[in-house]
Amino acid sequence: MYTGPHLIKDNLIFGYDTGYGVADNKTSTRFYPGEPTTNAVPLSTFINTSNWTGAGWSGTIAVSTDYDNTLELTSTNGWRTWRVGTGITSGGTVTVSYEYKMKTLATTNVYMLNLNGDNLGSYVNNLGSISAADTQDLDTWKTFTSSWTANSNSNLAIGLRGADSQGLTDTIYVRNLQVELKGQSSPFTATSRSSTQSLIDLKKTTDINVSNISFDSTGQPSFDGTDDILNTGLFNGRNPATDPFTIEAIVKSDTTSGAHMWLDATNNGTNQRLYCAYASTGTSNPMGIQNSGWSSSGVNDTDFHHYVIVMDGSVARLYNNGEAHSTKNYTSYQIQALNVGGRSGYRWVGTIPVFKIHNQVLSANQVKQNYNAYKNRFDI
């Protein structure tokens, strides 16, 4: 998790951080291992050399003694393919990724193929080759990624095309092979990553379920404006007049049209409001608190914003990028479970990479301190 300098974390009871700026398709963080996925070639299958079939001229496959959970694929006299079955024959786009490094300088190319049978020339999809420069690099681990449309041939092969009949040896290290039925890769998992193992509560007291949100092409969680929502399951029946709290979030809208909420309380009635929204006209006070809805006119954009809602017992205070924005008075009332991403008809369109609930009233100085901790990371 990226926290930045001097981040106030006192009395935090729930929160998440998607690692925006650090986490992506290849990189996970402590609190964001990556989007849910299933590896069609799990580690136990990958590392068992009996699951690989060789074809072509001479070569070997072996478990490396140099690196953990790594294979060494070798061609000793011309082309050699090593294939493994994925079990995927339908369902859409398949994406493969793995880390590799040459053990010996390659004499020609290294290929990645979706094979029909064993022959190097009988491929359904040529998934690309490792660049000549990379085959001459013995020091750096690199990542190969490619995609194809699932077909009746589920074989996946790595092919080494050495110098024919010259008795030269090419050897490549391969590790963290992952085959996924989706359009982009995600950080490696030995087996699978469920919807409750993807995004980890900063307090590790609540299972966060991401089954109802989307993921963009970089692997970051996003909200599509249609049906995406993250239910925290918290605050069902809490009275902010007797039990104050603070909500903090980094939000970014992908549109300036329509009205959409980044925060809403489940099934709130006319006198049970707790939400924060954007609208196409902008909002001078985008909060809905108790019996008071949002008001019109103001700023509406697609930039990152640091928002804080402080419920201090009688006044709801909204801060935008470290500055006091607006207030609304309230009396005793009960709110329902909080949802990140709004509600039907007002679903959020964009990203919410940070969301936190503090079981205390943050002061104006503390709000400013947290804003300063986040502003460079999100270029606010």
pLDDT value for 207 = 95
Tokens (6 digits) for 168:
């030269």
Query: Radius of gyration (Cα) for the chain, nearest Å?
Result: 26
Pairing mode of beta strands 214-215, 123-130? unpaired
Render each residue's pLDDT in the chain as its tens digit; 380 residues: 444 558 988 899 999 999 999 988 889 999 999 999 999 999 999 999 999 988 878 889 999 999 999 999 988 877 788 889 899 988 899 999 999 888 887 666 677 666 555 555 566 777 777 776 777 788 899 898 988 888 888 888 887 766 555 556 778 899 999 999 999 999 999 999 999 999 999 999 999 999 999 999 999 999 999 999 999 989 888 999 999 999 999 999 999 888 899 999 987 777 889 999 988 777 788 999 999 988 865 668 999 999 999 999 999 999 999 999 999 999 999 998 899 999 999 999 999 999 999 999 999 999 999 999 999 999 99
pLDDT value for 76 = 80
Number of H helices, E strands in the chain: 2, 27
What is the Cα–Cα distance from 245 to 169, expressed in whole angstroms? 66
User: For residues 253 and 266, is the Cβ–Cβ distance under 8 A?
Assistant: no
Same topology between domain 12-36+194-378 and domain 38-180? yes
pLDDT value for 357 = 97
What is the Cα–Cα distance from 358 to 361, expressed in whole angstroms? 7
Domain assignments of the chain as residue spans, ordered by start: 12-36+194-378, 38-180
What is the Cα–Cα distance from 265 to 270, expressed in whole angstroms? 12
DSSP label at residue 50: G
**What residue type is assigned to position 268 of the chain?**
N
Q: How many CB atoms lie within 10 A of CB 40?
A: 21
Task: Say whether domain 12-36+194-378 belongs to CATH 2.60.120.200.
Answer: yes
Q: Which residue has the tokens 């925006």?
A: 20
What class, spelled out in words, does domain 38-180 have in CATH?
Answer: mainly beta
What is the Cα–Cα distance from 75 to 310, expressed in whole angstroms? 65
What is the Cα–Cα distance from 105 to 284, expressed in whole angstroms? 64
